[in-house]
Structure 1
Amino acid sequence: MKKLSSVVCLLAILLVVLPGPLYKWQLIELGTAFTGIRYGVFAAMAGAVLLVIQAGFFRKQTNWAVFGVSCVFAAVAIVMPLSIMNKAKSVPPIHDISTDVITPPEFIAIAPLRADAPNPVEYAGAETAAQQLKAYPELATLNYKENTKHVIRVSIDTVKSLGWELVNADVDQGIIEATDTTTWFGFKDDVVIRVVAHGDSSALDIRSKSRVGKSDLGKNAERINQFITLLNKELTAK
C-alpha cells in the first residue's frame, strides 16, 4: 500500500508539472498538455484516498517521511490546477487588453511573428472592449508631463527591466514592441506601447495580447499594470 500510494502521488505531480515544459520545448501539443494535467488531478485524488487508507490501516508499516512527501505531491497536484480554474472563472475570457479600446496601438514589427498564431494580430473588437472595461476599469490612457522622447526612452528601459524581449523601439515614432514569454508553458504574449505628444506633455497607451488561448487568465492586464507601476517609479526617479 505504501509503495502504491507513493507511486500514484509521484505520477500525479509529474502529470501536472511536466506538461508545461514539454509544451514549451515543443515535445507535445497543447491539448495533450492539458489532458495530462487533468489526469494528474485524477491521479492526485486517487493518491489522496490511498494515503488516507494507509494512515488509517497500515500505520506500522508507514515510512512517515515518504508519506509526508507524498501528501505534498498530492496536494500540489490538486491545488495548482484548481487555482488556475478558479482564476479563469474570476476574469473575463479575453486575451487582448489595451489602455485605449477605441484606437488601440497596432502591432507592426511583431505582426509577422504572429503569422501562424491562433489569435490574429487585429484588435479583438467591441465585445472584448466591453468585457475589459467592466473587469479592468483602472486601465486607461496615461498622461505624463514629460516630453515624448523622454517617456519612450524610460519605457524602453522599463521593458528591459521586466525581462521582455524587445522587438522594435522607434523613439521618433513613439512606438515600442516587445514579447513576454511565460515561465511554465512558455506562452508568448506581445506588447505594443505608443507614446504621442500633447503639447509639451505625453500620452501613453499600452496593449498586451496573447498569441494562444481564448482566456489569458488575467495575465495581460496584470502585465500592463506591472509595466505602469515600474514606469511611474522610473519616471519619478529620473
Structure 2
Amino acid sequence: MSALRHQRHLRGGRWPARIAWLSVLLLLVAALLLAGAGPAYRLDLLPLGSAFGMLRRGVQISAAAAIVGFLALIAATFCRRLRPALIGGLVMAATAAMLAVPWLHWQRAQTAPPIHDITTDTENPPAFEALAEAREAAPNAVEYPGEAFARQQREAYPDIEPLVLELPLGLAREVAEAAVLDMGWEIAHNSLTSIEATDTTTWFGFKDDVVIRLSEADENVRIDVRSASRMGRGDVGANAARIRDYFEAIERRLD
C-alpha cells in the first residue's frame, strides 16, 4: 500500500517514465536497422536499395528517439524525476554517438566529387588484368573513365601522386607486397612490377579493386596506384583515402 501511495504522489505520475522508456525502445529499433542494413545486403538477404532504405529508416527513427528523449528529459526535470531524466539524457547522447558515422559520411559526400576511380597517374593509369573479368561483371567499367575523372580528381585530391622509393626494384616490390598484406587486401596477381588486389569493406561488403605498378626510374622505383570501386557513381572519397593509407603502410614498412 505504501508503494502505491508513493506512486500516486509522484509528480507527473507514470508519464515521464513511459516517455523515457519509449525513447529507449525507439533507440533500440534504430540501432537494429542501422547495424543490420550492411549485413543484410552482404548476406544477400536484401537488395542494395532495400538495405539503403533500412539505413534511412534507422536515421529517421534515431531522430525520433532523440526527440522523445528530449521530451522525457524536459518532463522529468519539470516533475523532479531523476531516473526518467537520466534515461532521456542517455538516449540523446547515444543517438548522437550512433549517428556520428553516418553524419561524417554524409558530410564527406557533400564535398567529394562524384567519381569512383582514382589513380596516381591519370595520363597512363595502371590497368586491371587479373581482375578485369570480375570488373566486367560489375556495373563500373574496367577501363579508366578518362579526362573528365582526371580533372575532378586533380581538383579534389591534389595530393594523390606517385610514391618514389630509393630502393632496388626487387626490394621495393617486397615492401609493396608487405604493405598490401598489412592493409588486409586479397591479392589476385603478384609479379615483379605489378600487384592486383581487392579490398572488401567491412559493413556492406562492397568490393573495390586496386592495381599497383612498379617502374624503375634511374636508381629509384616509382609506385603508381589505381583504386576503383566496382559499383556506385561516387565513392565518397574512399578510393583516395585507400591510396593514402597504402602509401602510409609502405612508409611504416620502410621505417
TM-score surpassing 0.5?
A: yes
Q: Show the counterpart of 2:150.
A: 129
Which residue number corresponds to residue 139 of structure 1?
A: 160
Contact 1:98 1:139 in 2 (8 A): yes
Partner of 1:202: 221
Query: For residue 64 of structure 2, what is the aligned residue in structure 1?
Result: 46
Structure 1 residues without counterparts, runs of 5 or longer: none
**Residue of structure 2 in register with 1:103 after alignment:** 124
Can you list the C-alpha shifts for 1:36-57, whole angstroms capped at 9, x where unaligned?
1111121122222211221222
User: What are the within-5 Å matches in structure 2 for residues 1-238 of structure 1?
Assistant: 1-58=19-76, 60=81, 62-63=83-84, 66-171=87-192, 174-235=193-254, 237=255
- Cα pair 2:119 2:227 within 8 Å, conserved: yes
Query: Does the aligned pair in 2 maintain the 1:95–1:215 contact within 8 Å?
Result: yes
CA displacement at 1:143 relative to structure 2? 2.4
Q: In 2, Cα distance between the equivalents of 1:67 and 1:52?
A: 6
| C-alpha deviation, 1:144, in angstroms | 2.4
Deviation at 1:61, TM superposition (A): 8.2
Deviation (angstroms), 1:148: 1.8
Q: Secondary structure at the match of 2:138?
A: coil
Who wins on radius of gyration, i.e. which is larger? 2
The residue identity in structure 2 corresponding to 1:54 is A
Q: Which moved more, 1:40-49 or 1:158-167?
A: 40-49
In the alignment, the residues of structure 1 paired with residue 225 and residue 175 of structure 2 have an alpha-carbon distance, to the nearest angstrom, of: 14
Pair 21,72 (structure 1): closer, same or farther in 2 beyond 3 Å:
farther
The offset of 1:62, in angstroms, is 4.3
Q: CA deviation at 1:102?
A: 0.5
1:57 partner letter: A
Q: Structure 1 residue 157: deviation in Å? A: 0.9
Residues 1:27 and 1:65: Cα distance change in structure 2 (over 3 Å): farther
Q: Structure 1: how far apart are the matches of 2:226 and 2:30?
A: 37
Instruction: Single out whichever of 119-128 and 69-78 deviates more from structure 2.
Output: 69-78
- TM-score, normalised by the number of residues in structure 1: 0.90
2:246 & 2:101 partners in 1: Cα distance? 26
Q: RMSD across aligned C-alpha pairs, in angstroms?
A: 1.9
Length, aligned pairs only: 234
What is the TM-score of this pair, normalised by structure 2?
A: 0.84
The one-letter code of the counterpart of 1:151 is A
Aligned-pair distance for 1:161?
A: 1.3
Paired letter, 1:179? T
**Does the residue aligned with 2:125 lie in a helix, a strand or coil?**
coil
C-alpha distance in 2 between matches for 1:203 and 1:80: 35
Question: Gaps (5+ residues) in structure 2?
Answer: 1-18
Partner-residue secondary structure (3-state), 1:18:
helix
Tell me how far 1:194 sits from its aligned partner: 0.5
4+ residue runs over 6 A deviation: none
Q: Secondary structure of the equivalent of 1:214? A: coil
